Structure 1
């Protein structure tokens, strides 16, 4: 797997994703080759730390709206997922596209309805591929007409948003020229696109961000709340951590310093992503023959399906994998684990756009480099299954060096904090400062259904009790 994910010869996603160009255009989900590389390079800086710090006011504002809405459902078993979806739509709209967003309070929003309909079509194509063998079969079931209606709604809404942003941007530039201020380094995601892409291309990239981000983030928060409800001791530690940071203040905005202090909450989120990864599989296509360490070759043109959910349940890396145990993400535990043993948001050459890792994960990467370069060769042996194992002294020395680097240069490693993780920590901090969560459901009663995003069946329900 490491060879596949690390290889520059295996970054294409294959022809299956081409069927979704009607929704995503030639965005990062569907594009391959040089086009994908160029767009990735263009859009990547939109999710760096300098941009993320400016997103916090939006995250705080919409998290507070979410908490007020959830207050209406307190003391009763509630499926909070639909409201989490609306909240993440607000996060993305305002932070990435500089657009006032009211998805949480606007029940009649056509764009939200069209997006849900489009993603339902996406899931159906994955779950029942025989329906999409030819357009005639798809149309026979009325699905082509539905796709056309969705596409019209989406394109109209996006065109209006683009035009509104162009007008606002022109006004900002005029104001900047009059005052002498330079905002060139403060460009939002949509501004970068406006400078270099056609309207059709912009819509494709915007829908890629919506499609890839809002359901996965909402799903991750939903699973985190549910698993905390099932594990009162872990929830108590989160409450203690938040109380120590905020001093009992349930309304104060979350700051960047606050986020860096939410270490146990982050561990809980990461463990929830391991137990219930929103995206269960990913597909890669070999552009050339790729030799593997065991002597076998992945032939050119071969599609490789990587089972993320199974990787995250590998007992070699995660003893008792079905147990919810946030301590798996203590720094020492992370450092001793292979970096590709934890890939809830993909990894390697074609990882998630917003997933340059936070400082803990960067420490793991530094450790991996140090482990191979600093550990004496005689301490490296071949374990079972052809895996490399390392003697304790060399490993511990590398862990120590990695930790020291992160301690003395934290700003370097904070600079890649994940956009999604920042959203989740901010939002969950607001929710868990106000509520204790519980549930009458059992994990054994919940099945996870594969799709574009892993769906629980039946729906998860939690009880929100004011603290």
Structure 2
């Protein structure tokens, strides 16, 4: 009887292995994807043995895969195999990101517990409606109405950085607090002082980022909720979510009261020196429930503060590493501001900061704050290629195949695509440089981020010169929701 039970167990295991391997080799999708290189695949585990390793090594792993197998690589993951297509070439990225027939990808489901149905996580008609609703608020000319906010908090940041001048320091935490002040005040039209005071919202934000990173670093923890809860992580997420929702609910109620008072008194908060710009919440109040408003505002916070702070941090580090480029930035800023280190940045000033903008773009090219972009296709798509092993009419199937229940997705590593830059005669093609993604689902806050970064860096670099003893080759990249580096970047701020 024992032998019979063991034989049945082995037979079931063999059947599972056979079905799993057949899905990776015999299905229509598998046959089409076979035209792309794959490091290897085994029953049940797929290509996992070839990519298994610490999360800190993910960037190196991606680079090694691309260097060995080319810029289009297929990985098969798990017993119910997910076909993960890595595209690291500009032509492939253009095809994928320009298509309207793609969802954001299962990658982003890790964030729904906090971001709800915001623009990052939603799909279909809901996303189209919300993008149309919020889009006008992110037009460049309107966003310059936030310049008083960005100038005010940038000056606060500079005064805080003065306390660390002539010392080796990691400026990223200070940059992050400043960008949170930018976003809170422009989102709610309420005073913000994250740079001065710590509070529960800031602590909850840190908890959320830690949770996101852990979910991406150890996916098996999230497969079964009881496992996540067993480690106390579910309770932590609940506390984090409650703190953020409470803070947002208070801010929403406060804004409603302020609007009611303005309407009653006929007051207007517009500054005559700048275009009128409503806080983002005002666009949502008349058409969304409080739950949906919170989802959108938290999404703006989550997508905006860390990525923008990281972009400025990388720019300062690279300028510190390149004195000649830094000198050109100083000369440009001196020509714009005439040596005045306190004057507010204006709309015309932003247009004149051409060399600073080039430096920021180069920093985002080398250190893209968001290292991976994920998409799930909803229909077949042609990917043209000049390589003889591929046919021009090749159709890749990325959507679900109901008969085998295989899911598939496309990952586009923005860090790897950047290496195409030199191959295009140094022309910054939109799909070789995608720190804000590209196509219909690009980052809605791209222009908002540019105004923030140029304004804030102009204040910092009018006051300080930056230097560093660190070398780029000593910096390791860590993939996650955003790009991290190890060790932390450290610079010295010296008064000009």
Same fold per superposition (TM over 0.5): yes
**Structural mapping, 1:33-432, within 5 Å:** 33-107=124-198, 109-176=199-266, 186-293=277-384, 294-299=392-397, 300-301=399-400, 302-314=408-420, 316-317=422-423, 333-334=427-428, 338-355=429-446, 418-432=447-461
Deviation at 1:436, TM superposition (A): 0.5
Per the TM alignment, residue 73 of structure 1 is displaced from its structure 2 partner at its CA by 0.2
Conserved in 2, the CA contact under 8 Å of 1:79 and 1:460?
yes
Q: Which runs of 5 or more residues in structure 2 are unaligned? A: 1-91, 270-274, 385-391, 401-407
* Offset of residue 121 of structure 1: 0.4
- In structure 1, the gaps of 5 or more residues are 320-327, 356-417
**8 A contact 2:304–2:445 mirrored in 1:** no
Give the Å deviation of 1:174. Answer: 2.0
Higher helix fraction (1 or 2): 1
Counterpart Cα distance in 2 of 1:445 and 1:119: 25
> Structure 1 CA distance, aligned partners of 2:340 and 2:268?
41
Q: 1:16 Cα deviation (Å)?
A: 3.5
Q: Cα distance, 1:14 vs. partner?
A: 2.5
- State the shift of 1:287 in Å: 1.0
Report Cα offsets for 1:379-408 as digits up to 9, x if no partner.
xxxxxxxxxxxxxxxxxxxxxxxxxxxxxx
Count of residues in Structure 1 that have an aligned counterpart in Structure 2: 384
The alignment partner of 1:73 has SS state of coil
* 8 Å contact from structure 1 (residues 286, 298) kept in 2: no
Distance 1:187 1:82, change over 3 A: same
CA–CA separation in structure 1 for the residues paired with 2:494 and 2:291: 46
TM-score by length of 2: 0.75
CA displacement, residues 192-221 of structure 1 (integer Å, 9 cap, x when unaligned): 111111111111111100110100000000
Offset, 1:316: 4.6
Q: Closer, same or farther in 2 for the Cα pair 1:429/1:316, shift >3 Å?
A: closer
Give the Cα–Cα distance (whole angstroms) in 2 for the partners of residues 292 and 117 of structure 1. Answer: 41
Q: What does the per-residue CA deviation read over 1:109-164, in whole Å, with 9 as the maximum and x for residues that have no partner?
A: 11011011011101111111111111111111110010000011001100000000
Matched residue SS, 2:419: coil
In structure 2, what is the equivalent of residue 446 of structure 1? Answer: 475
Q: Does 1:6 align with 2:98?
A: yes
What are the superposed Cα offsets for residues 227-268 of structure 1, whole Å, 9 maximum, x if unpaired? 000000000000000000111101000001011000000000
- C-alpha distance in structure 2 between counterparts of 1:18 and 1:142, whole Å: 20
Conserved 8 A contact 1:126-1:451: yes
In 1, the alpha carbon distance for the partners of 2:352 and 2:237 equals 45
What secondary structure, in the 3-state scheme, does the structure 1 residue paired with 2:440 have?
Answer: helix
Kindly state the Cα deviation for residue 463 of structure 1 after the two structures are TM-superposed.
Answer: 0.3
Q: Distance in 2 between matches of 1:340 and 1:457?
A: 27
Distance 2:166 2:490 in 1: 12
Query: SS of the counterpart of 1:102?
Result: coil
Matched residue SS, 1:304: strand
Contact 2:158–2:460 (8 Å) recurs in 1: yes
Contact in 1 for aligned 2:146/2:277 (Cα 8 Å): no
Which residue of structure 1 aligns with residue 389 of structure 2?
none
Cα distance, 1:342 vs. partner? 1.4
Query: 1:312 is paired with a residue of what secondary structure?
Result: helix
Aligned to 2:412, the other structure's residue is in SS state strand
How many angstroms apart in 2 are the aligned matches of 1:309 and 1:248? 37
1:292-316 C-alpha deviation (Å, 9 max, x unpaired): 2232222123311111110012255
Could you tell me how far apart the structure 2 residues matched to 1:444 and 1:178 are?
Answer: 53
Separation in structure 1 between the aligned mates of residue 356 and residue 324 of structure 2, nearest angstrom? 13
* Structure with larger Rg: 2
Take 1:341 and 1:49, find their aligned partners in 2: how far apart are those partners?
Answer: 23
Structure 1 residue 177: Cα displacement: 8.3
